[in-house]
Amino acid sequence: MHPFEKILSVMLEDIELELRGLKEVGWSNFLLNPRRLRGSDFLMRWSQGVWSEKRVIEAVNKTRKFYAIPYGPSGTAPTDDVRAFELYFERLEKAGLGDIKRPDILVFKIGDKAFVDKFLGKVGGASELPFIKEDEMKELIQKAIIAVECENSLWVAEKMPDYGSELTPRKRLEGKMGLKKTAVVPTVIIKEEDRAPLKKWQSQNKIPIHIWHVFFDRAYGIALDEAERLFDEGLIQQTIQVFQAPGGATTSKAIYKIYYLYAYQLGISKSKPELVPQYIEDKNGHILPYVTFNGGLMDITQEALDVLEKA
């Protein structure tokens, strides 16, 4: 799957727009050269992903103790033009770097900000980082205290049906503590296909990776090593989800949904983002509307600051 489609893939259970009783949908042929976008869910997914990464970076930088920058291709890609976003991944593919897995964010101590900014200035800015080979960025990477893989969900965490439920012994977990199988709670998600590449990056660079998952009202985090412990001990089991790409292709992927109860609270929303209507138009005049996320503030919790202080 092309990296452009891969990064916009959405779990089918998260696709909210359903049109029933229609045999043909005019905008199903919407061309975004050369791929097709079959619904506003994928564009909204792009906007949501961009917004969530910017939100945690801003929150970290607001602490004045730590300094975060985008590092992976999703975080350094253009943020205000979906066509430019696509072309960015075209360039990444042509450079032979489309399948390289890097964490989305690097976090540094504030004292290293001048060094980081100077490094970025020399390479042409953060947007150029995905096109630079890893061994040419050792100086930058080694200054980081943690690397972050960023995920997001379109949920208000506190309003999820089983938020606040307590862990109890579960038969399917052989008596280990857990929640009911159908529990709807905030989770930190890790894809099985990402585990090996992330562990390899962590091992090669000796920089711990954390997974940060952003919801509408708050965010949670967990160290990759801690997540692996939960998997090894059978406390979190693998589930299979079907993902759909903008071009229509579906794939089944194994993922892990880590209960927020096992994670540290990363941040709490202080103001909600504004949902702004937007659209794109193809060369034939077809209109595809979607919603973008704009603004909103999040404060890093003391619990998360303690995690960073100890990193």
What is the structure's pLDDT at 97?
64
CB within 8 Å of 223: residues ≥ 6 apart: 208, 209, 210, 211, 307
Per residue in 112-145, pLDDT (tens digit) is 999 999 999 999 999 888 888 888 999 999 999 9
The string of DSSP codes covering 265-277 is EEEEEEEPPEEEE
List the chain residues with pLDDT less than 70. Answer: 1-5, 7, 12-42, 75, 79-80, 82, 95-99, 246-248, 282-284
What is the structure's pLDDT at 196?
95
State how far the Cα of 101 lies from the Cα of 194, in Å rounded to an integer.
Answer: 8
- Residues 104/83, Cβ–Cβ less than 8 Å: no
Per residue in 92-114, pLDDT (tens digit) is 877 666 567 889 999 999 999 99
Q: Angle between the 192-205 and 224-232 helix axes, to the nearest 10 degrees?
A: 130
What is the structure's pLDDT at 290?
77
Domain limits of the chain? Answer: 3-310
Cis peptide before 186 (omega within 30 of 0): no
What is the structure's pLDDT at 302?
97
Helix or strand (DSSP H, E) at 262: none
Percent of residues, the chain, with pLDDT higher than 70: 82
